[in-house]
């Protein structure tokens, strides 16, 4: 069983798209970035992967990890 790819929120010609890494097609397209981000968060939590939100310029605005975080915050390590 292969691990599902991280989930990205990216600008799309019809609004904002939710797209898996290495996928050429969007999972879904939404009118607003917030709608896309909410949907991406649900997918990422369900699959235990990262949600990565990009701005209109394509640069990463935020990231959240819902699985095995490869770079946990220093104050959370034991």
pLDDT at residue number 70: 62
DSSP string, the chain: -PPPPPEEEEEETTEEEEEETT-SS-SEEESSHHHHHHHHHHHHHHHT-EEEEE-TTS-EEEEEE-S--SS--GGG--
Measure the CA–CA gap between 68 and 29, rounded to whole angstroms. 27
The rounded distance, in Å, linking the Cα atoms of 25 and 10 is 12
pLDDT at 74: 74
| Segments of the chain with pLDDT less than 70 | 1-3, 68-73, 75-78
Query: What is the model's pLDDT at position 22?
Result: 87
pTM of the model: 0.82
Q: Which pLDDT belongs to residue 60?
A: 96
């Amino acid at each position: 069983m292969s691990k599902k790819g991280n989930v990205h929120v990216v600008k799309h010609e019809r609004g904002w798209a939710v797209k898996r890494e290495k996928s050429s097609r969007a999972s879904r397209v939404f009118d607003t970035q917030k709608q896309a981000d909410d949907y991406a968060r649900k997918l990422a939590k369900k699959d235990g992967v990262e949600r990565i939100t990009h701005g209109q310029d394509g640069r990463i605005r935020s990231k959240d990890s819902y699985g095995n975080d490869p770079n946990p915050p220093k104050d959370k390590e034991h």
